[in-house]
A = this chain, B = another copy of it.
Amino acid sequence: MLNEGRDDVVLGIGDDAAILSIPENHHLIQSVDTLVAGVHFPVETTPQDIAYKALAVNLSDMAAMGAEPAWFTLAITLPDDSSAWLDAFSKSLFSLAKKYNVQLIGGDTTNGPLCISITINGFVPAGKALTRNTAQVSDKIYVSGTIGNAALALAAWQGDCLLKDETRSFLNEQLNRPQPQVELGLLLREYASACIDISDGLIADLQHITDNSNVGAAIYFEKIPLSKELKLNLTDEALLLALVLSGGDDYELCFTIPENKQKEFDRVMKEHGISVSCIGEIELRPGVRCFLNNKEIDIQGKGYEHFVD
Residues of chain A whose beta carbon lies under 8 Å from any beta carbon of chain B: 10-11, 14-22, 24, 27-40, 61-62, 64-65, 67, 71, 73-75, 77, 105-108, 110-113, 115, 117, 119-122, 124, 126, 129, 131-133, 195-197, 212, 306, 308
Contact = CB atoms under 8 A, between A and B. Distances in A.
Contacts of A37: 112
A39 B28 CA distance: 33
Among A18, A19, A38, A212, max chain B CB count under 10 A is at A19
A24 B21 contact: no
Contacts of A21: 27-28, 126
Contact of A61 (B16, B115, B119, B132): B16
Contact of A40 (B20, B27, B64, B110): B110
A110 B308 CA distance: 11
A71 B121 CA distance: 13
B106 A32 contact: yes
Contacts of A64: 16-17
A24 B24 contact: yes
B129 A106 contact: no
A15 B65 contact: yes
Contacts of A38: 112
A30 B17 contact: yes
Nearest to A119: B119
Nearest to A36: B112
A113 to B, nearest CB: 4
Contact of A113 (B10, B73, B113): B113
A45 B32 CA distance: 25
Contacts of A32: 73-75, 106-108, 119
Nearest to A71: B30
B112 A19 contact: no
Contact of A17 (B14, B34, B62): B62
A29 B34 contact: no
20 contacts: A14-B132, A15-B133, A16-B197, A17-B30, A17-B62, A17-B64, A17-B67, A19-B29, A19-B65, A20-B29, A22-B22, A22-B28, A30-B105, A32-B73, A34-B110, A35-B110, A75-B75, A75-B117, A106-B119, A117-B117
